A and B are shown apart, each in its own frame.
Chain A
Amino acid sequence: MKKLFIKSFIYSILILCILEGYIRVFHLTKDFPTRYLDENNVEKWVPNQKGIFVLGNRRENFNAYSINNSGFNSYREFTPSADNVEIALVGDSFIEGFHQQYYNSIGKKIEDLLPDVEVYEYGYAGYDLADQLHLINKYKSQFDLIDHVIIGFKFENDLTRGKYEVLKDRLNLESQFNRNIRKIKTIVYLNSIGALDVPRGFVRNFLSLFSKKGNNKVELDKTPDPAIKKQSNGLYLENFESLVNTYGFDKSRFKFLLNSEKTPTSFLKYLKSNNYKYIDYASPLSQATKPTTLIYDMHWNNRGRSIIAKVIVENYKLNLTK
């Protein structure tokens, strides 16, 4: 019996070691770029990092990223000048584009369609409007040289706060403990494929047996209460106004990039009545006959990115003709 336990233990350790080897050799899991807070309190990636971003059990989504000198994932450096035409895309992970080869991003696709224009992608996973406007404000001299600034915007995510503050939770991902954990590729891989959700769920269920709350489980009504929705929409609008007033918003150059189907009509009306311009990609995305998002999450796939690039280019051309 003792032999069985000892051998099982040794075999388990050996199997884990060899799995670590397989995962590293076949590069089954993603590399983690390092994030930091720059001198302007702007959270971004440490410049000049290269690596591979992987999604899927069998690395179905396997893309290189390249962090430029400015700390953003892009094939080019950001060198705006008064002589050239530049477009800046500011946004979250959708603009950051780790899910694509960095040389096949939305920005690159726009440049392919508009050869005389340079596109700078200031994308960073988790950025909300506070992050975006704070970035633009802190790098005002650079952004003042950029002709068009397009801000990726999601109403339900981006207006939860009315003032920029450094998000410590996100920066805690760079703690020594987290860095060490990330060095064990097996853990990273198991986490990325959802295999660790199984023990997590088990522990949660087990603990709920002992908690009083667990015994009186009440199924929550997922339907949003219209009154609460109205209240939060009001709060979001307050946050929006607060952010715009604090960090400034150049209505002649700045535009939002949004999905009107996921934005309240009242907010769209507010934008229109206050002369905030926006580019709406709802219709071209919903009309697509093939999937526009990845299998694993709702980030745009290559087809989705092409559609977004096309929408931006069409809007750009329309403005030129006006």
Chain B
Amino acid sequence: MIFNSLEFFFFLTLVFCLYWFVLNKSLKAQNILLLVASYVFYGCWDWRFLSLILLSTVVDYFIGIKIDSNNDKKIKKKWLWVSVIFNVGLLGFFKYYNFFVDSWIDMFSMFGYTIKSDWTLRVILPVGISFYTFQTMSYSFDIYYGKLKPTKKFLSFAAFVSFFPQLVAGPIERASNLLSQILNKRTFSYNQSVSGLKLILWGLFKKMVIADALAPIVDDIFANYSTYPASTLILGVTLFSFQVYGDFSGYSDIAIGTAKLFGIELMSNFKFPNFSRNVAEYWQRWHVSLSTWFRHYIYIPLGGSRVSKIKSVRNICIIFLVSGFWHGANWTFIFWGAFHALVFIPVFLMGRNTVYKNTVVAENSIFPTFTEIGQVLLTFAIVTFSRIFFRSESIIDAFNYINRIGADFTYQTYTHPLGYRMIDYYLLVILFVVYEYIIRKDERSPFKFKSRILRFFVYSIVILLMLLFFDDNVDRSFIYFQF
């Protein structure tokens, strides 16, 4: 069951009605409903992997209690390590096992030894494993650092781990934020629900119009990159930048909006990263929940920026490599992470990694300055370049793609693989960028206009565009499900 399906619409309506009309008097009953709904939601993909979620839930539930009940710091730490090893082990087996085996074999073959690949297993990657394992780990971390008391309410904890709006692709919530809301009574708020519905509409637009419309073009260019000139390859990776942003931020918006319908506030995951003025700002705006997770649970425990410059640089490298590796068991993601570390370090060394932390481009004016335009374009170009690694099937493909841009630096008009007018897509992207610029100050209010007529006009245009670019034949799954 995916967010952009009719099945989900009926599922959500049913759960919403039961939640607020039937079970609204009992918090426990509401949490049980959320738990059952989440398991049904996940079970629609593959019910077999529900056991993994349950296992992860049980293990971290008890570890949380163990960490809290011991006063000895060493024992606390040991229990924390049990949680980390268990969750990372789970992730490692299902996500990275074959990668390590294959890499090991490849390494030996480089030295002339041939090893028969008896160790490779046909492991299926459970959807969302990277997200919920990180979320359960955050619970153990928060208890260990004394930021949270463990809950004795197992069902509520299970509902926190499996909360369906963000179960398969985030935002990766910290226990201190989400669990506390699940443990406390929620009351229906009209404004919160309306705000949720607006976010769902905006998320659907980003997914169905931006991501899905650009997908066939990007797929075609990356699949046939060896036949295209530089102009098309640059177009392909640029459109991929918008596709992946529309896809993932669209998912996040729907997740946040859906959670709002149940009276729960999730953290923002995307804050208009395309308007970032340097790479550091980009990482404060792109996949915020993951960046925050790494900062809180890896970067800061390693010393963060409060250690020597060399150690800080080391920490940055670790964070980006781990982040790259988190995305997938492929060298392309590790290169992608390494590239970001390389472009982040100079910004850090110049002390400019936090200068744009609390501001947005053209903070106090309608139009950006020329400097800001230059900064935004440069950052976008850097980030987009890195996406060649992110999107390519293999590291060889990525380098060949880059090599071809340099080798065949010519222009050729690109025609849509299905024969549609390309101008429609260019206009769509331009319109999208302009609209995002207009709403850039508040990622949680995509339709924040004072005039009711204007607001209604925007809704109607958004829905019209969803129809104009509707394609039932396109693969409607989300890119980040593979992570």
- Asked whether, in the complex, the Cβ of B194 is within 8 Å of the Cβ of A4, the reply is yes
- Asked whether, in the complex, the Cβ of B468 is within 8 Å of the Cβ of A58, the reply is yes
Q: Which residues of A contact B21 (CB under 8 A)?
A: 1
B464 in complex: contacting residue of A1, A11, A22, A198, CB < 8 Å: A22
Q: Which of B319-357 contact A (CB under 8 A)?
A: none
- Asked whether, in the complex, the Cβ of A295 is within 8 Å of the Cβ of B421, the reply is no
Q: Which residues of B contact A195 (CB under 8 A)?
A: 467, 470, 472
- Docked pose: A168 CA to B478 CA in angstroms: 45
Q: Which residues of A contact B190 (CB under 8 A)?
A: 1, 3-4
A60 in complex: contacting residue of B10, B188, B420, CB < 8 Å: B420
Interface residue SS majority, chain B: helix
B421 to A, closest residue via Cβ: A60
- Docked pose: A295 CA to B456 CA in angstroms: 34
Q: Which residues of A contact B112 (CB under 8 A)?
A: none
Q: Which residues of B contact A3 (CB under 8 A)?
A: 190
- Asked whether, in the complex, the Cβ of B470 is within 8 Å of the Cβ of A194, the reply is yes
Also in contact, A1 and B20, with CB within 8 A (given A22-B460, A57-B467, A60-B421): yes
A189 at interface by CB-CB < 8 Å: yes
B292 at interface by CB-CB < 8 Å: no
Also in contact, A15 and B460, with CB within 8 A (given A194-B470, A198-B472): yes
- Asked whether, in the complex, the Cβ of A19 is within 8 Å of the Cβ of B460, the reply is yes
Q: Which residues of B contact A15 (CB under 8 A)?
A: 459-460, 463
A14 to B, closest residue via Cβ: B456
Q: Which residues of B contact A194 (CB under 8 A)?
A: 470-473
Q: Which residues of B contact A202 (CB under 8 A)?
A: 6-7, 10
A18 at interface by CB-CB < 8 Å: yes
Q: Which residues of B contact A57 (CB under 8 A)?
A: 467-471
Q: Give min CB distance, A58 to chain B, whole Å.
A: 5
Q: Which residues of B contact A7 (CB under 8 A)?
A: 194
Q: Give min CB distance, B417 to chain A, whole Å.
A: 10
- Asked whether, in the complex, the Cβ of A193 is within 8 Å of the Cβ of B420, the reply is no
- Docked pose: A84 CA to B418 CA in angstroms: 43
Q: Which of B430-480 contact A (CB under 8 A)?
A: 456, 459-460, 463-464, 467-473
Interface membership of chain B positions 400-426, coded 1 if the CB is closer than 8 angstroms to chain A and 0 otherwise:
000000000000000000111100100
B6 in complex: contacting residue of A18, A28, A198, CB < 8 Å: A198
Q: Give min CB distance, B3 to chain A, whole Å.
A: 14
B197 at interface by CB-CB < 8 Å: yes
- Docked pose: A11 CA to B456 CA in angstroms: 9
A197 at interface by CB-CB < 8 Å: yes
Q: Which of A49-81 contact B (CB under 8 A)?
A: 56-58, 60
- Asked whether, in the complex, the Cβ of A193 is within 8 Å of the Cβ of B467, the reply is yes
Interface membership of chain A positions 195-221, coded 1 if the CB is closer than 8 angstroms to chain B and 0 otherwise:
101110010000000000000000000
Q: Which residues of A contact B6 (CB under 8 A)?
A: 198-199, 202
- Asked whether, in the complex, the Cβ of A190 is within 8 Å of the Cβ of B193, the reply is no
Q: Give min CB distance, B276 to chain A, whole Å.
A: 32
- Asked whether, in the complex, the Cβ of A18 is within 8 Å of the Cβ of B460, the reply is yes
Q: Which of A215-242 contact B (CB under 8 A)?
A: none
- Docked pose: A28 CA to B467 CA in angstroms: 11
Q: How many residues of B contact A (CB 8 A)?
A: 27
- Docked pose: A60 CA to B421 CA in angstroms: 8
- Asked whether, in the complex, the Cβ of A19 is within 8 Å of the Cβ of B470, the reply is no
Interface membership of chain A positions 1-22, coded 1 if the CB is closer than 8 angstroms to chain B and 0 otherwise:
1011001100100110011001
- Docked pose: A58 CA to B20 CA in angstroms: 40
Q: Which residues of A contact B20 (CB under 8 A)?
A: 1
Q: Give min CB distance, B220 to chain A, whole Å.
A: 14
Q: Give min CB distance, A146 to chain B, whole Å.
A: 36
A264 at interface by CB-CB < 8 Å: no
- Docked pose: A190 CA to B470 CA in angstroms: 10
- Docked pose: A190 CA to B188 CA in angstroms: 34
B470 in complex: contacting residue of A4, A18, A22, A193, CB < 8 Å: A193
Interface membership of chain B positions 170-196, coded 1 if the CB is closer than 8 angstroms to chain A and 0 otherwise:
000000000000000000101001100
- Asked whether, in the complex, the Cβ of B420 is within 8 Å of the Cβ of A11, the reply is no
Q: Which residues of A contact B469 (CB under 8 A)?
A: 57-58
Q: Which residues of B contact A19 (CB under 8 A)?
A: 460, 463-464, 467
- Asked whether, in the complex, the Cβ of B418 is within 8 Å of the Cβ of A197, the reply is no
A291 at interface by CB-CB < 8 Å: yes
- Docked pose: A199 CA to B5 CA in angstroms: 10
- Asked whether, in the complex, the Cβ of A4 is within 8 Å of the Cβ of B193, the reply is yes
- Docked pose: A189 CA to B469 CA in angstroms: 13
- Docked pose: A252 CA to B456 CA in angstroms: 67
Interface membership of chain B positions 296-313, coded 1 if the CB is closer than 8 angstroms to chain A and 0 otherwise:
000000000000000000
- Asked whether, in the complex, the Cβ of B419 is within 8 Å of the Cβ of A295, the reply is yes
Q: Which residues of A contact B421 (CB under 8 A)?
A: 58, 60
- Docked pose: A57 CA to B463 CA in angstroms: 13
- Docked pose: A32 CA to B420 CA in angstroms: 24
- Docked pose: A199 CA to B197 CA in angstroms: 21
A8 in complex: contacting residue of B197, B460, B467, CB < 8 Å: B197
Q: Give min CB distance, B199 to chain A, whole Å.
A: 15
Listed residue (B6, B20, B424, B467) with the most chain A CB atoms within 10 angstroms of its CB: B467
- Asked whether, in the complex, the Cβ of A295 is within 8 Å of the Cβ of B418, the reply is yes
Also in contact, A295 and B420, with CB within 8 A (given A15-B459, A15-B460): yes
Q: Give min CB distance, A20 to chain B, whole Å.
A: 11
- Asked whether, in the complex, the Cβ of A1 is within 8 Å of the Cβ of B188, the reply is yes
- Asked whether, in the complex, the Cβ of B463 is within 8 Å of the Cβ of A189, the reply is no
- Docked pose: A43 CA to B418 CA in angstroms: 35
Q: Give min CB distance, A173 to chain B, whole Å.
A: 23
B459 in complex: contacting residue of A4, A11, A295, CB < 8 Å: A11
Q: Give min CB distance, B281 to chain A, whole Å.
A: 36
A-B contact pairs, 18 of them (CB 8 A): A1-B21, A1-B188, A1-B190, A3-B190, A4-B190, A4-B193, A7-B194, A14-B456, A15-B460, A15-B463, A18-B460, A57-B471, A58-B420, A193-B470, A199-B6, A291-B419, A295-B418, A295-B420
Given contacts A22-B460, A28-B468, A189-B467, 19 further A-B contacts (CB under 8 A): A1-B20, A1-B188, A11-B456, A11-B459, A15-B460, A19-B463, A22-B464, A56-B420, A57-B467, A57-B469, A57-B471, A58-B424, A194-B470, A194-B471, A194-B472, A194-B473, A199-B6, A202-B7, A291-B419
Interface residue ranges, B against A (CB under 8 Å): 6-7, 10, 20-21, 188, 190, 193-194, 197, 418-421, 424, 456, 459-460, 463-464, 467-473
Closest 8 CB pairs of A and B: A295-B419, A194-B472, A18-B460, A202-B6, A57-B468, A58-B468, A22-B464, A4-B193
